Amino acid sequence: MTFRESDDRIVPQKLENQSSGMKLGNAGEGKAVRPTCVQDSESPTLSGGSSVLDRLGRITERATAHPNEVFNNLFSLLNYELLWYAFRRLKRGKVPGVDGRTVEDYEEDLKSNLLNLLERLHDGSYRPNPSLRVNIPKGNGKSRPLGIACVEDKLVQRAVVMVLERIYEVDFYDTSYGFRPKRSCHQALAVLGRTIATKKVNWVSDADIEGFFDNVSHDRLLELVQIRISDPKLLELVRRFLKAGVLIDGKQEATEEGVPQGASLSPLLANVYLHYVLDEWFERDVKPRMRGYASLIRYADDFICCFELESDARRYQAVLPKRLARFSLSVAEDKTKLLRFGRFARRDSTRHGEGSPGIFDFLGFTHYCGRSRAGKFKLKRKTSGKKYRQKLVELRKWFRSQLDTPIGEMWQTLNAKLRGHYQYYGVNDNWPMLMAYRNRARVMVKRHLSRRSQSSYVNWTHLDRLSDRHPLANPRRLTDLIAMTGTQ
């Protein structure tokens, strides 16, 4: 026998580790974007050329060093390598668009498809397909239109986002948390809690923009994008995505305004729009004119403003509709209110004979003034009634579709749904609402098992025995939003 040295171990690297810059894509914390497993034998980087990741890093450096610089040569970044990385960011198992192609179908001949797409992009013949319109119930009798784009359109949008976010992530204010890398709803809630608990906050303005994603002006949006981007080819590509249209019941309709929800590019464009319409205006024009403390926290089109003085809060609420109207937006009057809130809200409400302090909803939670065990002020949160009822309706509809599903498979999916609910709503002081949701789910399980056949009635004793073999998921620990503020 001859002894030979073993080969060195090979450790696969994650996609994020292959670049020295920030994490690619527009997916922050929360729902993770799982990279597609692409088996390419050839490296996407052209031999002898600089990596597109290095070029993206230099874009970030330029945007940081020159805040007022206008970028005029970004379309050249849309090369084969960037498209390859963008494809790896797409999710599998999603509903196909109007062309019926899935991510798996596109991957079968990936290199040829990417080269063909690249040629059409650079000779100007690429045209986005219309989005497939699907209405998602909101739980209040209304629905939210969702646009499902084709795989190729998702791919190009993702590539454009990877370029543009290198510039706008430098420009965006820290008060913006929606659809940004390494930012989440929980972080926005934590910062809001810290602001109310530690700053001079006595009033909260809870405003809502009426149908924001449906009313964004395309002309004004492109004007705002041109503040930082002057590349005509990239601007034309963005315009084509905005004007691509939608397919409703087999009929194509033009889109003269709004950005389609569900598209990869829409969250970034929405953030750009509100950055100039709301964030920059609040920091540059509103705060210097306030006599007391003022702050804003925004997640996508949901935002909360905190004030020290009532006069400042009322001045802001009076001018906000005028500001939004300049950009084809309006305030939802039925969802906008000004309330006394903060550390001294209970004392001041008693003095003025106003009863209990007000409450407001933000990111699916009802915020109210509570007390800690030591008797001091504590901002508390619980699942909002609207979201709680909506989740129960969705769960009930899901059970109706599981009558033919094996119990073991159904139970596994149910536990996944429960764990997802606990992951988001499992925050400080919300344990009772988590257990209430679990108990309602348990009642639905009993009813569902009893309806599977005429002789399948299940009583509580039978359900307990079944639960011993198939335990129902329990919330394990809560996310400490108070501790999260120490890492901001």
Determine contact, residues 185/30, Cβ cutoff 8 Å.
Answer: yes
DSSP letter at 258 equals -
Amino acid at 113: N
Q: What is the pLDDT at residue 33?
A: 44
Q: What is the pLDDT at residue 259?
A: 87
Question: Would residue 262 count as lying in a domain?
Answer: no
Distance CA 38, CA 409 (A): 29
Distance CA 124, CA 262 (A): 25
Specify which residues 302 forms β-bridges with: 208, 299
- In this structure, the answer to whether residues 128 and 232 fall within a common structural domain is yes
Crossing angle of the two packed helices 431-450 and 407-425, in degrees rounded to 10: 160
**Of 328, 350, 383, the domain-final residue:** 383
- In this structure, the answer to whether residues 397 and 366 fall within a common structural domain is no
Tokens linked to 70: 């206008």
Determine contact, residues 206/336, Cβ cutoff 8 Å.
Answer: yes
- In this structure, the answer to whether residues 236 and 122 fall within a common structural domain is yes
Q: How far is CA 379 from CA 53, 198, 231, 337, 365, in A?
A: 43, 11, 47, 19, 12
- In this structure, the answer to whether residues 376 and 390 fall within a common structural domain is no
- In this structure, the answer to whether residues 449 and 411 fall within a common structural domain is yes
Question: Would residue 18 count as lying in a domain?
Answer: no
Backbone angles phi, psi at 248, to 5 degrees: -120, 115
Tell me which residue of 222, 265, 274, 210 sits closest to 241, measured CA to CA: 265
Question: Would residue 328 count as lying in a domain?
Answer: yes
Taking only the tens place, the pLDDT of each residue in 144-196 is 777 888 999 999 999 999 999 999 999 999 999 999 999 999 999 999 999 99
Q: What is the pLDDT at residue 5?
A: 43
- In this structure, the answer to whether residues 286 and 328 fall within a common structural domain is yes
Determine contact, residues 215/274, Cβ cutoff 8 Å.
Answer: no
Q: What is the pLDDT at residue 138?
A: 67
Distance CA 144, CA 279 (A): 25
Give residue 223's domain range. 52-167+218-256
Q: Which residues of the chain have pLDDT under 50?
A: 1-41, 43, 47, 487-488
How many structural domains is the chain composed of?
3
- In this structure, the answer to whether residues 86 and 142 fall within a common structural domain is yes
- In this structure, the answer to whether residues 243 and 150 fall within a common structural domain is yes
- In this structure, the answer to whether residues 359 and 323 fall within a common structural domain is yes
- In this structure, the answer to whether residues 126 and 251 fall within a common structural domain is yes
Question: Would residue 42 count as lying in a domain?
Answer: no
Q: What is the pLDDT at residue 150?
A: 92
Amino acid at 479: T
Q: What is the pLDDT at residue 44?
A: 63
pTM, two decimals, is 0.85
- In this structure, the answer to whether residues 252 and 312 fall within a common structural domain is no
- In this structure, the answer to whether residues 379 and 420 fall within a common structural domain is no
Question: Would residue 198 count as lying in a domain?
Answer: no
Q: What is the pLDDT at residue 451?
A: 86
Q: What is the pLDDT at residue 468?
A: 87
**Of 383, 412, 433, the domain-final residue:** 383
Question: Would residue 237 count as lying in a domain?
Answer: yes
Taking only the tens place, the pLDDT of each residue in 43-58 is 465 545 678 999 999 9
**Of 340, 363, 383, the domain-final residue:** 383
